[in-house]
Structure formats: C-alpha cells, structure tokens
A = this chain, B = another copy of it.
Amino acid sequence: MTAAELETFLHDHIPLSRAMAVRVASVAGNRVALEAPLAPNINHHQTVFGGSAASVATLAAWSLLHVRLVSSGVPSRLVIQRSTMDYLLPMAGDFTAIASFEDAPAWDAFMRMLTRRGRGRIKLGAVLECAGQRAGVFEGEFVAFAE
C-alpha cells in the first residue's frame, strides 16, 4: 500500500481524517508517519487540541497495523480497545504522528492467534513530534478479528 493509497482510504472512510487535513507522509512495513497542520486542529491556546493529537496518533498506529494485516493476506477487522496518551509539550505548529514497529515476536504471536483462534491482540505505540521535539506519546491496544 502506497502513501497515496492509504491517504485516500483514510479520507474516504474516516471523514475526521479529512477534517484534520491528515496527510500520509510515509508508509513502510515497520513505520507509518502522518502529518497534520495546526489550523484545523487548533484550540483556544493556539496549540494543537488534545483530541486531534490523540486522533492522529490513533490513526498512525491503526494504519501501520492495517498495512501489515493487508500485506499478510489475512482478512480481518481491526479495532482499538484501549489507549493512553501522554501530552508532553504543547504543539504550536504542524505536527507528525509516527508509529513504528520493531517487535517481531509480538507480531508473530498476534498473527498466530488471529489465524488459529480468529482473534489477535497487539499493542502499538506512536510518537507525536512538533518542531523537532517529542511532544506526546500514544500507546494503543488493538484487537483484530478474522473475517
């Protein structure tokens, strides 16, 4: 899946991604980076609204798992079950959410559960960056159901 394909998927199926003007900066098997501008995501302090930050981070993590599931050829429905967001710094400009994946054993266990039992559970984080600084940390727990 290319960055353009993922961006079209998000904009077509999750209208809030379009309202937040989310752009897919890059997609690879181990990393998805999403960008969003300040203007549609601003709050009354002229910084990024916490809900926008959490939403773009959620989309980054969800997208990386989605891309990997599509590549694996196992049709499944992927939903978020729990998330934690730590807001480290206010973001006063355009921002990026980067989900990256390095835990091969966790992925293997997840796929094994998904194919054997029809349901797999996995954790994936994302980092928010603004003006070259780490501004937030997201951690999500996702469940995939085989279809």
Contacts and interface: CB of A to CB of B under 8 A. Distances in A.
Interface in A40-81: 40-45, 49-52, 54-56, 58-59, 62, 77, 79-81
A86 B77 CA distance: 18
Contact of A49 (B16, B42, B84): B16
A40 B58 contact: no
Nearest to A84: B84
Given A51-B54, A85-B83, A40 B20 contact: no
Integer count of this chain's copies in the complex? 2
Contact of A58 (B14, B19, B20, B54): B54
A132 interface: no
A82 interface: yes
A15 interface: yes
A54 B54 contact: yes
Given A51-B51, A51-B55, A13 B44 contact: yes
A70 B132 CA distance: 35
A39 B14 CA distance: 10
